[in-house]
Amino acid sequence: MKGLITILLFAFALATYSQPAEPILRIETGMHTGFSTGVSIDNSSKTILSSSGKDKTARLWDSQNGALLNIFRIPIYFGFDGDITSCALSPDGKISALSVAYFAGTAFRFCIYIFDSQTGGVKSHFNIPTRVLKMEFSPNGRFLATSHYSGENSVNGIKVYRTDTWQIFKEVEGKSAFFYDFAYSLQNKFAIAENEKRIRLYDENYNLIAEQTTSSILNYLSFSKKGDWLAVIYGYPDVAVELRSTNDISIIKKLPFNTYNGWFSADGKNLYSQAVNNNKTVKCNYFSILNLEDFSSKDIELNFNGCVFTNLKVLANSSILIQTNREIQLRSSGGEIIWSNSMMNLDLINDDQSHLKVNSGGNIVGFTPVGSSAFTFNITERKLENKQCEYPSFTDKNVLNVSCWDSRICGQGPEINNKRTDFLEENDASVSVDISNDGNTVVFGGRDFLYKADNQSNLIWKVPLPESAYGGINISSNNKTIVAALFDGTIRWYRMSDGKELLACFFHSDQKRWVLFTPSGYYDASPGAEELLGWHLNNGPDNAPSFYPVSRFKEKFYRPDIIDAIFETYSEDDAITLANQRSSKKIITANTDIRQKLPPTITINSPANGSNISSNTVSISYVINSPDDAPAKNLRVLIDGRPVATERGLKPTASASQKITVTVPSQDCTITLLAENDNGTSPETNLYLKWVAPVAIKEEFIYKPKLYVLAIGVSDYNNPELKLGFAAKDAGDFAGAINKQKGNLYSDVIVKKLTNKEATKDAMIDGLEWIQKQTGQKDVAMIFYAGHGINDNNGVFYMLPVAADLERIRATCLNFEELKQTVSSIAGKVVVFIDACHSGNVMGSTKRGGNDINAVVNELSSTENGAITFTSSTGKEFSLEDLAWGNGAFTKAVIEGLNGKAVINGKNKITVKSLDAYISERVKELTKGKQHPTSVSPPNVPDFPIAVTQ
């Protein structure tokens, strides 16, 4: 009864606290971007669940290869509101449980969300009294155990919930501090390690079997898989390991190992642990394999960045899952890496905060990620360069005495001129600082907030941070902006006067992709980076939130011109006004309540993601949800990123379960469903399937694909001012290089070449229609274009045929839509090469505002269009050609790569990724760093060979 009353009281508290309805911008890389808070596996070790705090997501992974199967989102707000503190996966893998912390105005509240692992939908949620440190399902699936902590001298302990009613079944309370650990055996016995130096053992119905006091503080518990041993691991002051009986917890033997934790191998012969030095300190970047038969030990290097070892699990096949703050690795029982998923954000947590630099205006920043050399990012030029920034770092002057600013070291609030500050939020800590040039103000970067104070320790303002400012803060010398480097890989600009966020930039760990965005969602993105940002929409406490990539609202929010105006106005509102005044195209008002114009969403009910298949036909059960005023009108099915035929007359029906049968190849594949309505295309819904049927003869020996090539190059334009040196030759040389693959990788290579006078607008359109019709599902299409490209006054990109008239662009030039429609309709794999921004022409910013090739690349390589796209340069660069090369730099590199220089070491294959790597380095070498080619592959198109060497 007591438990029921508690739940009812907290249910009332939940009802009085509503999540915000406004959309929230979130980074989405396919991996966590915040500190890891838990990892769990199902009983069969097929799937892995991981959670992250300020990332505010949990993720389900395939244990065999680390493929992402699902993302679970909970209702969130800004700052720490909605942090996930732990996670648990049910024994059958069908339920994912998450514990969540909210800050309801003046006090924290806590709850547990129960998700359907397949659909991502919320099955239940209920409130709990205190923060959960650890949660785990019993092996029989009947119970969910949670350990709670609400602070020193508070009632803490273990609560066990029934999974059929989610009511409390058992409570074990403790005083003065939290319980250190608990563990289940596979036989459903339950053990608790208490802070009061006591061990308790329970049977499967939580009847006490035995309890014993210990001489040292307990740190960790682990049952052997057979259930015959309980490893008891002690912490301070005695680091020790005991094996105890699972009948009465009596000591069987003491082990001569120093460790703070431990997990049994599947056969019980080894204990895996975090490595410890002889002086009983943590040995960074290592774990240990402790042999329980001869008491030997072996340390295995993890190759992680940093030292934080957060979790380890042993799978049924004895492989080892290791989690740190930034990575998840699966290793064999001997320690060899099977797969690894790392954070895809740059690690900006640099103890030397002088790495963060900024120019006077705030539009140029420098930073040095952990394990990398320095970078400089020029926002105006959209140029990310691997070089040291010449501008200053944070102020290091004697104009003001600021001490104890790092609460992690000092253990108290900061002091300004020897006066203690008292404005830090409860549970927050200062981790970075900067002083204004005049010494009048100090800015502190916290784990949760950014604070500005005067030189008398008085708070001027505070604003919540989306992540911790561990990477440092820096005030620009014009005193208008504060630059903060956050844990999630973003650098953010805040207005000095009032703390208003002006701009953010996320940098991908590949050191190429970035996305700039304002608080209202206006953005610009480098090629391939558009999918890194999206809108999170809360749908009330009873439902899972929705998530839409910003690309689904590109027409309104893709506004590089607003980004440009930020550092002229230092106000987002004023930047919007200024950009709209300058624009000659019709402006679509971007009401940030995107709920009014939502595309559909799709949920796949079956088969389960990560399922094994042995048939070439798969029946998929799915549900489409679409706004009432914009019903779904079309469904597209992609396999590994390319379209497949669907049943004739298929009519999607919103909110009703439907089925579709898809023919799949005899290999692992990803099926993608996309629905459309009048508002746009749905976020992709993916179904990853693993092929298990034996294949006597590999498919590549049965069928060699055909390659269809459309090569277009224009040098001798009718307008002599547009003349180029090598564009036509580039197209011819490319066609010649790829034609050598006939009879090697491809059964045939069919080329349609259009150069100079042949490259009329009509001929180019006919060529696109030809390649669309000819390319079959198992074939490959390549489209190569060298010549001029231009954006008209409305921002639409055009390729220029031989008779292009710059005063009649729409009538005489080829609209990018023609290329996009062709690419999206081709059945086979598509590779596009664009060399359309040559220097020495009259079409730079003086005529039409410059080319926006980044937008073109992001369109072509989006999920719905699915083209692998190579471009000669980034959006604000020109592409170079030189007589000494005999080609444009980009085409020369492409041809060299196809002729063998891009071959994978030890193999005769040239893949998309190996060609990209060669082109990138070769073009930078040829142009001495003046030109940076790009390559983008759609999310679900795997790497594949496009050429071979003989």
- What is the phi-psi region of residue 573: left when phi exceeds 0, alpha when psi lies from -120 to 50, beta otherwise? alpha
For residue 53, pLDDT over 90 is answered with no
For residue 524, pLDDT over 80 is answered with yes
The tens digit of pLDDT for each residue in 572-591 reads 999 999 999 988 766 666 55
Which pLDDT score is estimated for 651?
65
Q: How confident is the model at residue 8 (pLDDT cuts 50, 70, 90)?
A: very low
Give the mean pLDDT of 544-562. Answer: 93
* Three-class HEC string of 520-588: CCCEEECCCCHHHEEEEECCCCCCCCEEEEHHHHHHHHECHHHHHHHHHHCCHHHHHHHHHHHCCCCCC
The rounded Cα 464 to chain-centroid distance in angstroms is 22
Q: How many CB atoms lie within 10 A of CB 189?
A: 21
> What residues contact residue 12 under an 8 Å CB cut-off, 6+ apart?
none
Handedness of CA 680, 684, 685, 690 (dihedral sign): positive
pTM: 0.90
The rounded Cα 325 to chain-centroid distance in angstroms is 14
For residue 701, pLDDT over 50 is answered with no
Q: How confident is the model at residue 14 (pLDDT cuts 50, 70, 90)?
A: very low
Weakest-pLDDT range from 298-302, 796-800, 866-870, 871-875 = 871-875
For residue 7, pLDDT over 50 is answered with no
Which pLDDT score is estimated for 150?
67
Q: How confident is the model at residue 852 (pLDDT cuts 50, 70, 90)?
A: low
Q: What is the CA radius of gyration of the chain?
A: 30
Q: Are residues 637 and 660 in contact, defined by beta-carbon separation less than 8 angstroms?
A: yes
Q: For the chain, give percent helix, strand, coil, nearest 5.
A: 15, 40, 45
Top-confidence residue, 361 or 654: 361
Which pLDDT score is estimated for 3?
40
For residue 832, pLDDT over 90 is answered with yes
Give the mean pLDDT of 754-760. Answer: 96
Highest mean pLDDT among 85-89, 286-290, 595-599, 842-846: 85-89
Which pLDDT score is estimated for 136?
97
Report how far residue 259's alpha carbon sits from residue 606's, in angstroms, rounded to the nearest whole number: 44
Q: Mean pLDDT of all residues in the chain? A: 87
The tens digit of pLDDT for each residue in 97-114 reads 999 988 766 677 899 999
Q: How confident is the model at residue 850 (pLDDT cuts 50, 70, 90)?
A: very low
Q: How confident is the model at residue 17 (pLDDT cuts 50, 70, 90)?
A: very low
Which pLDDT score is estimated for 80?
63
Q: Are residues 719 and 807 in contact, defined by beta-carbon separation less than 8 angstroms?
A: no
Weakest-pLDDT range from 168-172, 654-658, 719-723, 896-900 = 654-658
Phi, then psi, of 693 in degrees rounded to 5: -70, 140
Q: Which residue bears the tokens 């590949």?
A: 510
Instruction: Mark 133-154 as b/e (b = at least 16 C-beta within 10 Å).
Output: bbbbbbbebbbbbbbbbeeeee
What's the distance, Cα to Cα, between the start and end of the chain in Å? Answer: 78
